[in-house]
Structure 1
Amino acid sequence: MIDTAHRTVLDGVPQRGNQEILQLRRELLNPTLSVSYREPLKIVRSEGIWLYDQQGQAYMDMVNNVCHVGHCHPRVVAAGQAQMAQLNTNTRYLHDNIVEYALRLTATLPKPLSVVFLTNSGTEANDLALRLARAHTKARGVVVVDHAYHGHSPSMVELSPYKFNGKGGEGRAPHVGVVAMPDTYRGLFGEGPDAGRQYGQLLAPAMAGLHQRGVETAAFYCESLLGCGGQIVLPQGYLAQAYADVRAAGGVCLADEVQVGFGRAGEHFWAFQCQDVVPDIVTLGKPIGNGHPIGAVVTTPDIAASFITGMEYFNTFGGNPVSCAIALAVLDVIAEEQLQANAQCVGNFLMDGLRDLQQRHECIGEVRGRGLFIGAELVSERGARTPDRQKAKDVVEAMKDRHILLSTEGPDDNVLKIKPPIVFSQANAEEFLDKLDTVLSAERP
C-alpha cells in the first residue's frame, strides 16, 4: 500500500512519492508511456544543464536537445512571461512577433528558403511538409533513410522505419521507399572517400522501385545528422548526390533539422550546410522554443505557391505571439552568448576526450559527431565491430548513479547519444569524461 499520510501540497498540487506516481501513471495514463532508467527519477526543477530531483540532487543533462540554450534560461522565460501577460491569440489578428520571427529565421537560411509556416511541433512540421511536397509535385511517394524517425502522426509513422519496422509496426507502406543508412562504420560501403556518393546513388533504385509500383516520388526525407540511426554523421557528398537524383526524378528534398538545427552542429547554424547543399524544404522543432511547443517549415516561394489551392491552412496555436516571443528570445540567446561557437569548441574537446578514452577502452568502437551532437558506439569485439547493447545500457545506468544522464540509440541500441543543451561547458565535459573513464574502467572483465 502507498503511504499518503505525510504527503505535502505545493501550489495546490499534492507531492507524491515515486512509487505512487508510477502506480498512477500505470492506471491513468497512456500505457505505452515510458520512463527512463531502471529506477526512474522524479525531476522537479532545472537550470542550465542541470536537472534536480525532489531531494535537491543535481544531475548533468547530456541528452536533452530540447532545452537548447539551457533549462529555464532566464531570457527565454522572461520573454514568454511578458508576452503571456499581455496577449496570446491566433494569427487572424495582426501582430509584430510572427513577422519579426519569420524575418529573423529566414535570415539564417540560404536563399531561396524564404517562406515560413509555423506549427506546434516537429511532427506537425514534417506532416505539413509532406502536404507541401505532394501539392508541388502531384506525386505521393517518399524515400526515407532506414531507421529514421520523423514524427508520431499517422503519416509520419509511415515515413519512420524506426517505428514501422519496430515492435507494433505494420511494415513499410506501398508509397514509401527505404534506403540504407549512410553508416561508414558498419554500413555497406565502408569508410572510403567515395562512400557518400555511393550511398547517395541508392536513391535512384529506390525511386525506380516506387515507379514500378505505380508511385512517383514526391520527396526525399533525411535528417541532416541521423538521430535514431545512431548519431550518424553523413559522409561528405551524400546529400549532393541524393538531392541531384531526387530532383532529376521530379521530387523535392527535405532536410529534417528537428534535432540538429540552431547551431548545434557548431561549424554551421544548420547541419545540412555541412554537406554544401540547399534543401527545398527544412523542418524545425524541439530547440526552436527551448522546450516551448513550437515548430516550423521553411520552403521556397515556388513550393509555397503550389500550396495555394483554395483550402486555407490555419493552425490555432501555430505562430501565436507567446510562441514567437519565446522563439525570438532563443535566437537572441544563441547569438549573444555565442552558443554556436561554444557547441563547436566544446564538442571538439568532448570528441577528442572520447577518442582518448577509445585508446584505453576496447569497448568504444567509434566516436563520431559534429558540434554537440555526438555518438560513442560500444562494441564487444572491436575488430568485428560487434554491437554491445548490454554494455551501453549498463554504462548509462552507472553514469546515472554518478549523476550524469545519458541514453542510447541506434539500430542495435548500443550507441551512447550525447546531445546536451549547447551551453554545455568544457568543465562539464571534463567531469563527464572523468566519470565515464571511471565507469568503463570498473566494468572491464
Structure 2
Amino acid sequence: MPTSAAPIPNRSAEDIIALRRQHLNPSLSMSYRQPLKMVRGAGAYLYDQDGHAYLDMVNNVCHVGHCHPTVVAAGQAQMAQLNTNTRYLHDNIVEYAQRLSATFPAELSVVFLTNSGTEANDLALRIAKTYTQANDVIVVDHAYHGNSPTMIELSPYKFDGKGGRGRPPHIQVAEIPDDYRGRFRKEDPKAGVHYADDLHCAIAAIRARGEKPAAFYCESVLGCGGQVVLPAGYLQAAYAHAHAAGAVCIADEVQVGFGRAGDYFWAFEAQGVIPDIVTMGKPIGNGHPMGAVVTRPEIAQAFMTGMEYFNTFAGNPVSCAIGLAVLDVIQQEGLQAHAKQVGDFLLHGLNEMKKNHALIGDVRGTGLFIGVELVRDHASLEPATAEANAVIEFLKAHRILLSTDGPHDNVLKLKPPMVFSMNNAQEFLMRLDQALSQIS
C-alpha cells in the first residue's frame, strides 16, 4: 500500500513570517508592507488563503499562465514515467533542442540546457571565455544577470547596490542607453549609436589593463534598469564595437524572451542583430526550474576542450516535457500575437493617461513588458519613488499585484503572464487612474 505524505499545517500569515525569520535566509525579502499568503494560481490570477483573487501583473515566470493545465499534465505524465540525467538517450531532450533552436535565426543552432537563467548566463560566460581566450567583460549599467558569485560580479544592480563590493577590475560598465533620462534623448535619432559609442571607453579600459574583452552582455530590453527599450541602432553599433575588439555578444533574454515582446519571439530581433550567444530562463518552464543557452556551432565547438559540461538535472526528461508544453501553448494559443495586441492597448491607454497625470514622466515597452516612470518634475526628472510605492500599495489593496524597478525605484513594471486579457488591461488602467488621482 503506498505511503502518503504528512499533511502540511495551514498556518496563519503571521506564523509563516515568524518561521521564515527563524529558519530561512534572513536576506529573503517579502512583497508589500503586509505580505500576502498565496495558496493557488490559475491563469493571470493568484488566490490567497481566503479565496480572494489577485490579478498578477508582475510574474513573467508563469509565462503561459499560472498552473496551465497543458504544462502541468506534461510534467505529471513524464514524472510518472521516468526522470533521469542526460547520459541516457531520450527523445525529449533532442525534440526540445530541435524545437527551441527552430525559433532562432539559422546561425544559432546549438543548445545547452541549464536549470535557471543564472546558470545559463554563467555557462554563457564560460563558453565566451573559452572561445575568445580572454577574461574581461563589458556589461550595461544597472544590469542584473543572476545570483551566482560570477553573475553578481557582472551585475551593477548588485555590486553597486546595498551590500555590494563595487565593480571588479575585470568588469567594465557601459552607460545605460536610457533615452528618457540619459545623456541622449528620444528626440535624437542617433541616440542608440551615441550610447553604443561608450563601449569604446570600456574597451580602452580593458586594453589599459593589458587584457582583451571576452564578452559584451546586454539584456534585449533592460529589466532592472527600469524596463528600458533599447534605442534604435544600439545593439547594431554596440555589437560592431564588441566584435571589432574580439568579444562575443551575449543577448540576455531571461526576462523578455518567448514572444513577450509581441512583434518578435526574441526581443533582440527588434534591433536587427544576431547575437553570438543567447541566454534564457524564467518563462522557459512556466515556473519549473529550467534555462538554456543557444549559440553558433563554431562557438560551441571551441567549448570542446576535453572538460565535459555535465549538469545533473539540466535537460532531464521532465524538464524537457514541460519546456515542450510551454512552446506548444505559446503557439496553439497565439500568445505572441496576444501579447502585442494587449500590450499595444496598454501602451495607448497609459500614454492617454499621461496627459492627465503629471506624475507619469515616461511610458515605454514592447508587448507585455512595459515600464511607467513616475517623476515629480518633468524638467528635472526628480524620481517619484515614494509615489510609485504608494501606487503599488493602492493597487494591492484593490487586488492587483505590481512592483517597481529602475535605478531610482520609480518605474512601475508591467510583465504579467501572457494570458493577461484585454479585460484585465482595462481593469488595471481604471485602477491606476484612481491611484494616481488619489496620490497626486
* 1:222 counterpart SS class: strand
Correspondence 1:295 to 2:295: no
**Corresponding residue for 2:359?**
363
CA distance in 1, matches of 2:378, 2:391: 17
**Corresponding residue for 2:233?**
237
Correspondence 1:133 to 2:136: no
Q: Residue 325 of structure 1: which of 318, 321, 330 is its match?
A: 321
Cα offset for 1:323?
0.2
**Corresponding residue for 2:70?**
75
CA distance in 2, matches of 1:229, 1:64: 17
Q: Which amino acid aligns with 1:281?
A: I
Deviations 1:310-342 (A, max 9, x none): 111100000000000000000000000000000
Q: Residue 28 of structure 2: which of 33, 37, 49 is its match?
A: 33
Cα offset for 1:386?
1.3
Aligned positions of 1:25-174 closer than 5 A:
25-174=20-169
* 2:229 counterpart SS class: coil
CA distance in 1, matches of 2:64, 2:431: 24
**Corresponding residue for 1:6?**
none
* 1:283 counterpart SS class: strand
Gaps of 5+ in 2: none
Cα offset for 1:132?
0.2
**Corresponding residue for 2:181?**
186
Q: Which amino acid aligns with 1:399?
A: L
CA distance in 2, matches of 1:142, 1:65: 27
CA distance in 1, matches of 2:368, 2:384: 23
* 1:207 counterpart SS class: helix
- Give the TM-score taking structure 1 as reference length: 0.97
Deviations 1:67-115 (A, max 9, x none): 0000000000000000000000000000000000000000000021000
Deviations 1:113-153 (A, max 9, x none): 00000000000000000000000000001000000000000
Q: Which amino acid aligns with 2:254?
A: V
CA distance in 1, matches of 2:44, 2:373: 23
**Corresponding residue for 1:211?**
207
Deviations 1:27-73 (A, max 9, x none): 10000000000000000000000000000000000000000000000
**Corresponding residue for 1:349?**
345
CA distance in 2, matches of 1:163, 1:439: 31
**Corresponding residue for 1:7?**
none
CA distance in 2, matches of 1:438, 1:240: 41
Cα offset for 1:395?
0.3
CA distance in 2, matches of 1:303, 1:343: 33
* 1:52 counterpart SS class: strand
Identity of matched residues, %: 66
CA distance in 1, matches of 2:106, 2:273: 11
Q: Residue 396 of structure 1: which of 392, 395, 407 is its match?
A: 392
CA distance in 2, matches of 1:38, 1:214: 49
**Corresponding residue for 1:197?**
193
CA distance in 1, matches of 2:6, 2:430: 40
Cα offset for 1:11?
6.3
Tell me which stretches of 4 or more aligned residues in structure 1 moved more than 6 Å.
Answer: none
Give RMSD over aligned pairs: 0.8
* 2:119 counterpart SS class: helix
Aligned positions of 1:276-295 closer than 5 A:
276-295=272-291
**Corresponding residue for 2:171?**
176
CA distance in 2, matches of 1:11, 1:24: 19
